[in-house]
Amino acid sequence: MRHAMIAESAVSKSNAAPEQRGSLWCAIVATYLSTSMGGAVSLVLPIIALQLALPAYQVQWVIGGYLLARVALLKIGGTLCDLLGSRLVFVTGLSLFGLFSLLCSMVSGADTLITLRIMQGASAALLSPASLLVVRGSVPPQGEARALSYWSLAAIVAQGGAPVLGGYLADTLGWPSIFSFCGVASALLVAVYLFVSKAPAQAPRKPGALAALLPDVAVSAVLVGLALLINDGYLWVVGGVLLVILAASLVAVRHRLRQPGYLLGVLARVPIVLTGLGGFGAVTIALLWGSYFVQRDLHMSAMMFGASCVPFGVLGIASTPLADRLMQSQRYATSFVIGGVAIVGAAAAAYLAEQWHSYALAATVMAALGVGYAFINGSISAALLHTYPAANSGGAASIASLSKQFGQLVGVSAFAAYRDFSGSAAGSDERLFIILGTGGAVMLISAMLSGVLQRRSAAGA
């Protein structure tokens, strides 16, 4: 195995042109920036709520509005990558992301901040699938799993390391400095990417190509409605709507269901999407809980919460080599099992931390999250990309991101239901920890389902 990995790395390095390697690292850094913004905002939510005197529902919209816009436009972002190329979409998304980050640093009112956060989320919807496709297009096929591991590692480092820098900036320069830093870094990264990347040859646009966006606009409208319902806590209504949509979709493609392997191919994506929903919902709940627990319940600084996130990065990085090997061998179900167990452990540790007012246990929660994140983030994307043809990679990338973003929205909604977002009341409802553990349980069930479907698919091949 070790010799195979060395050979793969050598092939990747020899076949990748310098501009491809430069593009790869630019996409990885862009992933770090967009992910670190999520962690940084979780960090400063209690501070923003206090300094701007925001009620709980407005605090929820500061983070929920960003996720809602990202969810709404992710499918369109993926389709634009297929139509216009990932390079153009990447540059556009990153430029807008940096611009709206800078503007967020200049506001002093809740309504303006929420509006700009929604625009920032819209730009991140372009950046998310584009960065994944830039990574995929920068390496030969045999190096794809390794590149996706690096891409996932950037998100791990962001979740574990960004709160430290964010905490320092928030404590010394104030919360707007976090947005300023992200805006300046984005502008520099755009300049570097344009310098190191090679513009593709201009391909003739297919007649009516932009008409392919029309179905995505309709899908986005549905996603906005579902996201709004999730943000307002109507999860059961969302579940019912999704069941109706699933039934209608099966009726619409009933003529394809008789094709060999078609139904199994569709069903194989279901546990992967469920893993994204459950896993990222749980990670979001735990990060928000940690921020409020450390800063409001334990009365510690933002920097201390940032320090408690360091184990997230350390354990996440330490887990990456094994997660990498599992991805290369396409053992995605095993990755989901390990991630699910880690999330369940994080839920138990969070409950005990709040009962005993223990900062050490809060850091233990972050360590468990780092392990879980390492095994699910890249595996979800790789597993979904594996189930789609190369011509639909943009769609696959957007679906992978959608499952994660919807999971985060569910996490925000659950947190808002069982913890005061304004920070005026201390402590969490015990049901929050049950929901956190349920996210891990969903991952374990999805892993079992994925394994069954893989065996059925192999038997039918």
Architecture of domain 17-199: Up-down Bundle (1.20)
Q: What amino acid is encoded at 261 in this protein?
A: G
Task: Tell me the three-class secondary structure of 407-459, residue by residue.
Answer: HHHHHHHHHHHHCCCCCCCCCCCCHHHHHHHHHHHHHHHHHHHHHHHHHHHHH
CB 100 within 8 A of CB 107: no
In the chain, where are the structural domains located? 17-199, 211-258, 259-456
The residue-averaged pLDDT of 124-142 equals 82
Do the first three CATH levels of 17-199 and 259-456 match, i.e. the same topology? yes
CB 347 within 8 A of CB 440: yes
CB 161 within 8 A of CB 296: no
Give pLDDT tens digits for 113-130.
Answer: 999 999 998 898 888 888
CB 185 within 8 A of CB 36: no
77 pLDDT band, cuts 50/70/90, is confident
Q: Please report the pLDDT score of residue 405 as a whole number.
A: 81
Q: Over 90: is that where the pLDDT of 391 sits?
A: no
- 14 or 158: whose pLDDT is higher? 158
Q: Over 70: is that where the pLDDT of 245 sits?
A: no
If you write DSSP's letter for every residue of 251-308 in order, what string do you get? HHTTTTTTSTTHHHHHHHHHHHHHHHHHHHHHHHHHHHHHHHIIIIIS---HHHHHHH
Distance CA 144, CA 148 (A): 6
- For residue 99, what are the CA distances in angstroms to 38, 44, 362? 16, 20, 34
Structure tokens at 154: 């950037």
Q: Please report the pLDDT score of residue 259 as a whole number.
A: 56
Distance CA 23, CA 36 (A): 20
**Residue reference for tokens 């994944």:** 132
Give pLDDT tens digits for 267-323.
Answer: 677 888 889 999 999 999 999 999 999 999 999 998 999 899 999 989 999 998 898
Phi, psi of 301 (to 5 degrees): -80, 170
CA dihedral over 308, 326, 149, 277, signed as positive or negative: negative
Percent of the chain residues past pLDDT 70, beyond the cut: 76
Architecture of domain 259-456: Up-down Bundle (1.20)
